[in-house]
Chain A
Amino acid sequence: MIKLIPRAENSRAMIILSPIFALVLTALSAFVIFLFILEDVKVSNVFFTLFIEPLTDTYYFSELLAKSAPLIIIGIGLSIGFRAGVWNIGAEGQYVIGGIAGGAVGLYFYNVEGFWLLPLMAIAGILGGMLYAGIAAFLRVKYQVNEILVTLMLTYVAVLFLSAMVHGPLRNPSGFNFPESRMFHDSALLPVIWEGTRLYISFIFAILFSALAWFGIKKHMFGMQIKITGSAPRAAKFAGFDDKKTVWYSLLISGGLAGLAGLFEAAGPAGQLTPGLPQFYGFTAIIVAFLARLHPIGIIFSALLIALSYVGGENVQIDYNLPSSIIQIFQGMLLFYFLACDILIKYKVVPNKTKN
């Protein structure tokens, strides 16, 4: 039928066109799925609610920005490791541990006012995430244990640990035995940057981290170290890069950023520690990073796209009574088509004319 022929050099046109192809294919597939599951509703209405409405309404738009912040922060960290060939799949766990560590600091200083408290909580959140990802780094460097398995399994441990904390030591003493912590007091809550919405200062940090990562990857030897290690490990040794350090850096940076994102969630939209802290941001950020082809600025845009699917997805759940898994289906299809279309950058499709 058809065959793929390697291109002599990467197609610049396809670098731009392949994401567009992926979006179109995702939309077409979504259309077909909606045709099957919707009764008495026009597919076009659902499409409007899903993709357009969140962009037209200021509240929805602020929600979109707010949801993108943790995705950007975690995605940036993951993209660095992915470039180096270090596969941290458990950002969700580091996010939870970061939330617990930072949140615990906030609760320890309950009702103590001071500008220093939030930075202290942020540092605790970062350290928590780093420590948790550091377990995987230690095991990989010391015993060649695969970091994919370690980080993934530790995610479940983290979620259960959060449950134990909010059922036990961190439970609100006057909370009628509900498994949640006290509400954080003012000094322990993130400042809002858009009055009347849930858009917190974390969004500004997300943009800052993207810029910083762009500098580190494009302008600094650190980026070369990461890229060369991921692309040609022996050449990295030849250049004098320590492969063990690369593993440590990759996991500590991605773990620290995931931990910070967890603290931002706890001290922002949640305002307390609850078993509902994990929102799958840690897993979704993997999609975000790959949709952006690991590019630090691209991650902002892919995070906004995925955030759109969250906000729009919630709306169609409410308006049309659709199942919540519609969001995951959408995100899964997007990544699938995106990776599939990317092959067009390196290969061209021609009709197969060989006999037999």
Chain B
Amino acid sequence: MNYQLEVSNITKSYGDLKANDNVSLNIKDSSIHALLGENGAGKSTLVKIIYGSLMPDSGQMRWGGNSYSPKNPFEARENGIAMVFQHFSLFESLTVEENIILGLDGVGLNQNFTDEILKYSKQYGLDVNPQQVVGDLSVGARQRVEIIRCLLQNPKLLIMDEPTSVLTPQEVSDLFVTLKKLAADGCSILYISHKLEEVREICSEATILRGGELVQSCVPQEHSQKELAEMMIGKKLTELARNKINFGSEIFSINNLSEKSDDLYGVDLENINLTIRQGSIVGIAGVAGNGQDELMELLIGEKSSGDGVLNFNGQDVGLLGSHERRQLSMYFIPEERLGHGAVPDMSLEENMLLSRPDSSGMTSSGVIDWSNVASFSEKVIDDFNVQTPSSKMLAKSLSGGNLQKFMVGRELIRNPELLIVSQPTWGVDAGSANHIHQALISLADNGSAILIISQDLDEILSLCEQIHVLSEGKLSEAVDMENNGLEKISQLMVGSESHD
């Protein structure tokens, strides 16, 4: 068997922390190889070493059979390694062609690459117009520009970092077609992801890292998604399933909600209608920036939505502030942890007080009962397995997953009749995400209603029994999942706008 890249026993430490501990990885010719691991597992460090932006403390690499130790990314690119980063590096005001030329080593802007761009575009189904300005392109189209830029360097290995996290389902399947073609034409692909279903679909091998160490290399199709996830996080995952679905009466409705955005670049909400019944989990899917933030602001009560549009338990709540809504048993978890759902420079105990219905007993006529606040904080930390030395720690000192568990726990111990949550597991490790999903499900099993706004379609599909799509400020009807539901969601996510 021929290997394009052999990585042997790489170790890299930052102080006491071993980011990579004796990691090995072999990528075959013309194969798609997955690199799996949670945040902090050491994926980025390993990739940076391969791409030449970090030097390992020890270990060797071989490239096409020859010893390989790049001192910088330039050298890596010369050898034929290209990388598409998770965050694109494109100039919005320049055209596609100008952006592509700027990314190439040793090429001037006066040269013409239109033909070559169109050649790759056609060959690999990467639909782009070289003369279009990048600022007008969708996320998927920008990614295609990045890929073409890499292909112009004739790479033998293309590294893709979390490529599908921002794409719609249709764009994802288009990307897979491209990647398979590339591999067939002799360009190996190192595919970094935590989305296991995708890895099982397109990767022929997977290397799994955990805590800087190699767990194992395996063929992903030989393992179930759950087994792969458990290898990744190193412990058993609970299967997500509703125990009893027992829908009660309608508890919350949004009626003809329209709202102009205050922000010049915001999204206007147009005629949004939605009803939620007790015991149900309702999901709002959609690509970020289609009105999710604007909708969440109105639902929390940070901005008044006016008369007659928000109804909770038969009461018009549109004019109430967030604290008054909590008194009625509506609770909220915003997307942003630091600065919105939690104050970074305050302790967990102080952050407990952001959500403080009078019934909690944490305050009485405004006077704070700190011992009560402390015991509630401890309870949240225990019940939701928040890893922290104490409840006196500053919110910003916690990892994303732990702070998210704290924020979810803070609202869930109030046993809300309605919970509205945006991006419950964004940037959260798989173990914490599983814990949070489990908690949401058991809340709904006990008869509470939940509204989830999320970009993560897998999350919506696995939790929600009623799914809507938000696109350009308009909310779709509930999608009928029986007949080609996923395809319909995909079309709705793209909306009326065409990206061609």
Contact = CB atoms under 8 A, between A and B. Distances in A.
Given A235-B341, A238-B340, A224 B353 contact: yes
A227 B350 CA distance: 10
B414 to A, nearest CB: 14
A224 B340 contact: no
Interface in A197-230: 219-222, 224, 227-228
Nearest to B322: A240
Chain B interface secondary structure, helix, strand, loop or mixed? loop
A9 B398 CA distance: 12
B406 to A, nearest CB: 14
Interface string A306-345: 0000000000000000000000000000000000000000
A228 B302 contact: no
Nearest to B363: A221
Interface in B359-404: 363, 366-368, 370, 394, 397
A221 B370 CA distance: 11
A239 interface: yes
Given A237-B322, A239-B354, A222 B300 contact: no
Contacts of B321: 240, 242
Interface string B317-351: 00001111010000010101001111111100010
B410 to A, nearest CB: 11
Contacts of A242: 321
A231 interface: yes
Interface in B204-236: none
B329 to A, nearest CB: 15
A3 interface: no
A5 interface: no
A232 interface: yes
Contacts of B341: 235, 238
B334 A240 contact: no
B367 A235 contact: no
A348 interface: no
A235 to B, nearest CB: 5
Nearest to B351: A235
Contacts of B336: 234
Contacts of B370: 219
A239 B321 CA distance: 9
Contacts of B394: 9
B301 interface: yes
A238 B321 CA distance: 9
Interface string B42-56: 000000000000000
A228 B336 CA distance: 16
Contact of B343 (A221, A222, A235): A235
Contacts of A8: 397
A221 B368 CA distance: 6
A9 B343 CA distance: 16
A8 B344 CA distance: 14
Contact of B353 (A9, A221, A234): A221
Given A9-B397, A221-B366, A238 B322 contact: yes
B293 to A, nearest CB: 11
B325 to A, nearest CB: 8
A240 B340 contact: no
Contact of A231 (B323, B343, B368): B343
Contacts of B342: 235
A232 B370 CA distance: 21
A126 B499 CA distance: 63
Contacts of B356: 221, 239
A254 B370 CA distance: 27
Interface residues of B, number: 31
Contacts of A224: 350, 353, 368
B264 to A, nearest CB: 16
Nearest to B338: A232
Interface residues of A, number: 18
Contact of A235 (B323, B324, B340): B340
A232 B343 contact: yes
B278 interface: no
B408 to A, nearest CB: 14
Nearest to A239: B354
A312 to B, nearest CB: 37
B355 A239 contact: yes
Given A239-B323, A240-B321, A232 B340 contact: yes
Given A9-B397, A228-B354, A232-B343, A238 B334 contact: yes
Given A220-B368, A224-B353, A232-B339, A238 B332 contact: yes
Nearest to B297: A237
Given A219-B367, A220-B366, A239 B353 contact: yes
A271 B341 CA distance: 53
A242 B394 CA distance: 24
A220 B300 CA distance: 24
Contacts of A238: 300, 302, 322, 332, 334, 340-341, 354
Interface string A229-255: 001101101111010000000000000
Contacts of B367: 219-221
B353 A232 contact: no
Contacts of B300: 238
A10 B149 CA distance: 46
A235 B339 CA distance: 6
Contact of B345 (A220, A221, A222, A231): A231
Contacts of A227: 346, 350
Instruction: Select the residue from A221, A222, A227, A239 with max chain B CB neighbours within 10 A.
Output: A239
Nearest to B350: A224
Contacts of A219: 367-368, 370
B368 A235 contact: no
A231 B91 CA distance: 34
A239 B322 contact: yes
B345 A235 contact: no
Instruction: Select the residue from A224, A237, A238, A242 with max chain B CB neighbours within 10 A.
Output: A238
B429 to A, nearest CB: 21
B106 to A, nearest CB: 26
A224 to B, nearest CB: 5
A235 B342 CA distance: 6
Nearest to B340: A234
A282 B122 CA distance: 73
Nearest to A10: B394
Nearest to B327: A240
27 contacts: A9-B397, A219-B368, A220-B367, A220-B368, A221-B356, A224-B353, A224-B368, A227-B346, A228-B343, A231-B344, A231-B346, A232-B344, A234-B336, A234-B339, A235-B341, A238-B300, A238-B332, A238-B334, A238-B354, A239-B322, A239-B353, A239-B356, A240-B301, A240-B322, A240-B323, A240-B326, A242-B321
Given A8-B397, A239-B355, 13 more contacts: A9-B394, A9-B397, A220-B367, A221-B363, A231-B345, A232-B344, A235-B340, A238-B341, A238-B354, A240-B322, A240-B323, A240-B324, A240-B326
3 shortest interchain CB distances as A-B pairs: A240-B323, A240-B322, A239-B354
